[in-house]
Amino acid sequence: MAPAAARRSPAAPPADLALVLAADCSGSMRSEHYDLQQQGYAAAFRQKDVIRAITGGLHRTVAITYFQWSGYLLQNLSVPWTLLRSPEDVLRFAALLEKLPRQIFAGGTSPAGAIDFGRRLLTELPVAPQRRVIDVSGDGRSNNGPPPVPARDTAVAERITINGLPILHMEPDIDAYYAENVIGGPGAFVVPARDFASFAEAIHKKLILEMAGAGQTAG
């Protein structure tokens, strides 16, 4: 049974964090890489310290959504806003991610499109979070649509933090590109994965860092 999709209410309840997970599904992402990426997400959300961090905040609530991205106008919302309030919620979310089918198989690489889509999702929040974060994973530079810097700067101006999870299997310096062009906002950081096999370790570290900052009010 999947976690219940979050619904908007007239008086939005508080939450510690609203987290948008944006997963690269561009043409460079082979099927075996996608599978490792999904398994990495699922494994990270099953870690006990991640579960404790998600459920141990001031409001004991994290809103989360997940989409796949490729070219500037090519995104697929895979998991709508979902509220994680208990260990059972987190484990159901992990199981959902593990079995999530790939919907995008080709296209260019547009971090700008991923950021803009994430911003739109954050306008549809069912909660009032202390922090709003877009987490962009990817294995290449922008080669489709506008450059990512203007999209990043617009999001930062709206007090949104963008973190990066670059995968280094194709471009060993893609972490430096993400640091300069993609991430931004309060407490923004890059956690590189050496390759797809180490993705679970990187996403685990990233989630702990994001949840550690969930008690900080965006400003």
* Closest of 168, 116, 172, 166 to residue 137, by C-alpha: 166
Instruction: Tell me if 48 is assigned to some domain.
Output: yes
Query: Which tens digit of pLDDT belongs to each residue from 16-64?
Result: 999 999 999 987 777 887 887 888 889 999 999 999 999 999 999 999 9
Eight-state DSSP code of residue 210? H
The count of structural domains within the chain is: 1
Report yes or no: 125 and 11 within 8 Å, Cβ to Cβ. Answer: no
Question: What percentage of the chain has pLDDT greater than the value 70?
Answer: 92
In a domain, residue 11? The reply is no
Cα angle, residue 34 at apex, residues 63 and 154 outer, rounded to 5°: 45
Does 217 have pLDDT greater than 70?
no
Q: Tell me, yes or no, whether 18 lies in a domain.
A: no
> Within a domain: residue 145?
yes
Residue 2 in domain = no
Provide the token pair at 95.
């199981």
pTM above 0.75, yes or no: yes
Q: Domain of 189? A: 23-212
> Cα angle vertex 197, ends 175, 78, to 5°?
80
Give CA separation, 13 vs 9, 50, 51, 120, 129, in Å: 8, 22, 21, 20, 8
User: Phi/psi of residue 93, each to 5°?
Assistant: -65, -40
Q: Residues 99-149: pLDDT tens digits?
A: 888 888 878 899 999 999 999 999 999 999 999 999 999 888 999 989 999
CATH number at residue 65: 3.40.50.410
The predicted pLDDT at position 82 comes to 97
Write the DSSP symbol of residue 183. -
* Residue at 10 is within a domain: no
